[in-house]
Amino acid sequence: MGDNVIKLDYVIPGDDFSVAGEASSNVKKVLNQLGIPPFIVKKATISMYEAEINSVIHAGGGNAHVEIDNEKIVVEITDQGPGIPDIELAMQEGYSTAPDEIRELGFGAGMGLPNIKRYSDELEINTEVGKGTTVRITIRLKA
């Protein structure tokens, strides 16, 4: 890859849960094409997918910006949703504010943010109540 930085941008639609994951799926394809080891691809795509789902569930969608260089993959999911009032609480496994109809779809069990933390090397959350949230996930390509 040299010193090149690959940048990818996606709009995450908020009105259709059935298409949630399209952006992550596309990123997975790109990472595989770049020859990145499968376990790193998995870490990156699971983290991104959970964040993408979160933006659909809680914020009516958002935007994904991905940068890949020879050292890391950085995924930034930004939304203009309600924000997270208590991050510590939101990071607890099992805590969720997702409505019942989302739970019926197999999500909203309070594992999203904990899963992102589990699979990412760095996780940064910037959130402001009433303004929105940016989740920045870093996956290192080198140990």
What residue ranges bind another protein (CB under 8 A)?
Answer: 17-21, 24-25, 28, 38, 42, 45-46, 49-50, 53, 105-107, 109-112, 114-115, 118
Report the alpha-carbon distance of residue 12 to residue 53 in Å, rounded: 9
Amino acid at site 106: G
Please confirm, yes or no, whether 4 is among the known catalytic residues.
no
- Closest CB 140 distance from another protein, rounded Å: 19
Q: Are 69 and 5 in contact (CB under 8 A)?
A: yes
Q: Which is nearer to another protein, 16 or 124 (CB)?
A: 16
Active-site residue (options: 22, 26, 93, 103): 103
Q: Are 49 and 16 in contact (CB under 8 A)?
A: no
Q: Which is nearer to another protein, 40 or 80 (CB)?
A: 40
- Closest CB 109 distance from another protein, rounded Å: 5
Please confirm, yes or no, whether 124 is among the known catalytic residues.
no
Q: Which is nearer to another protein, 30 or 46 (CB)?
A: 46
Count CB neighbours of 40 within 10 A: 16
Going by C-alpha positions, the residue among 3, 10, 29 that lies closest to residue 77 is 10
Q: Assign 108 to helix, strand or coil.
A: coil
Catalytic residues: 50, 54, 103
